[in-house]
Amino acid sequence: MLNLYNSFTKSLEKVELSSDDVKVYLCGPTVQSSPHIGHGRSSVVFDFFIRYLKYLNYNVSFARNITDIDDKIIIKSSEQNIGFKELANKISKEFEQAYSNLNCLSPDFEPKATEYIDEIIVYIKQILDKDMAYVSESGVYFNTAAFTDYLKLSGRKLEEVISGTRVDIQDDKKAPEDFALWKFAKEGEPYWESTWGKGRPGWHIECSAMINTILGEEIDFHCGGNDLIFPHHENELAQSKAAYPNKNFVKYWLHNGMINLSGKKMSKSEGNVKILNDYIDEYGGDVMRFYFLRAQYRSPQEFSEDLLIESQTTFNKIAEFIKDTKPGPIDKNLINLFEECMGDDLNTPKLIGEIFLQINNSTKLDHLIQNDLKATIRYIFHTLGFTFLKAETEQLSDEKLANYFDNYGIIFESIEQAMNEYIIIREQHRTNEEYEIADVMRDSLLKIGIKIEDGKKDDWSWNNN
């Protein structure tokens, strides 16, 4: 049983799919600047979702696009004095790195807008043929008045939309809420040829055209951040219903909540954007995933470095508890709880709560039952895309360090404390002119990644690779 909140019906719905072949589309990034924590959330929470669909034995066809041409890319690249392609490629690589380090499954299709210009043009023609768009001085626009269900997805009122429309609206639109399907190129801007004139696609049309080309006229799940509901998804829906009025474009619309920095919504205009890859480098993919797992995907999630540290500590407790076990779905009770939580609109915080309850109660269990529990917890985390690699390497090095220092009668508590004691012992050997012992100490220490520099008092460095 899988229940999910559908943004279109604004209710929790029991998921009913006509086939085991499931089509999922996730709106990917506009590659104009480095990924921030919000991009991380969207990619990870929908990675949990896709992995869970696979766990339920669905064959998932997953597409996530890259918007590699857009007004912001043009502006940013000209500010940096580079071509729009160069900027898009550079930023795409940063996203690729983040997705990979977060251990997100690679999509089956990762289309770029600039690779689908022909399909986009054909799609716009279809909308024009249905008389639901018009050509003006500055581009081709969707005629929102011709689509009666406009704003049904976002639930917005037309007045709000009009008053929220930017002042820089083109004067040649029939109505301020009409949006561009094709923008004619201004002097110096990149362009592609079309029947209407040289230009580039509007933002929304690429998703309609790429979904249609790659996945077909109807898909099961359309995912993205809830900041995309309006205008992006509203407009995608309008275009797709205009081109294919008898098709149900999307069965379930799923949207993740935003990240808040100290209670503020994270947005570029607020200037409080952090770089995702820095956090991944510091904490590792598992801890980042665990941080995202701690909130239900639709809720807003607070973000601070303290919360990441807290996630690290909590995650390490789980890693410590399940170390030396192999994954296996042995504890049926816990597997049922896993499915119950995930089936309840991917209630991952509830799942973590249940797992900790089991860990806390496990001291009373006999050894074999405890091992079943450990194997099952590992299985659940593996199913959700956790690797435990970093946590376990760190545990291994702590163990290794403790064994090493034990040879010199030092009880290892931290690297600093152990090294302070170690240096005193070695200095004593040097004072006694026992240089051979001092050298053995220096060389063996280097083998475990710690370097001592003689001549500089107390100087040592530590490299945990």
Residues that bind Zn ion (CB under 5 A): 27, 207
Of the candidates 376, 389, 367, the one whose C-alpha atom is nearest the C-alpha of residue 285 is 389
CB of 25 to Zn ion, least distance (A): 8
346 beta partners: none
**Nearer residue to Zn ion within complex by CB, 77 or 239:** 239
* 211 vs 377, beta carbon nearer Zn ion: 211
Nearer to Zn ion, 206 or 331 (CB): 206
Closer to Zn ion by CB, 29 or 284: give it: 29
**Which of 207/337 has CB closer to Zn ion?**
207
Question: With respect to Zn ion, which residue has the nearer C-beta, 28 or 257?
Answer: 28
Give 3-state DSSP helix, strand, coil % of the chain, rounded to 5: 50, 15, 35
Neighbours of 233 (CB within 10 A): 25
SS3 272: coil
Report the residue number, 27 or 98, with the smaller CB distance to Zn ion. Answer: 27
* Closest CB 56 distance from Zn ion, rounded Å: 25
The span from the CA of 130 to the CA of 241, in Å, is 11
Q: Which tokens belong to 421? A: 């004691």
Q: Which distant-in-sequence residues (6+ apart) come within 8 Å of 363 by Cβ?
A: none
* Least Å from the CB of residue 226 to Zn ion: 13
In this structure, the number of other CB atoms found within 10 A of the CB of residue 6 comes to 18
Give the shortest CB-245-to-Zn ion separation in angstroms.
Answer: 21
Q: Is 274 helix (H, G, I), strand (E, B) or coil?
A: coil
- Preceding peptide of 349 cis, ω within 30°: no
Beta carbon of residue 449, minimum distance to Zn ion (angstroms, whole number): 46
Q: Of how many residues is the chain composed?
A: 465
Q: For 62, phi and psi rounded to 5 degrees? A: -115, 125
Minimum Å gap between C-beta 459 and Zn ion is 54
State the minimum distance, in angstroms, from the CB of residue 236 to Zn ion: 6
Strands 21-26, 11-14: pairing is: unpaired
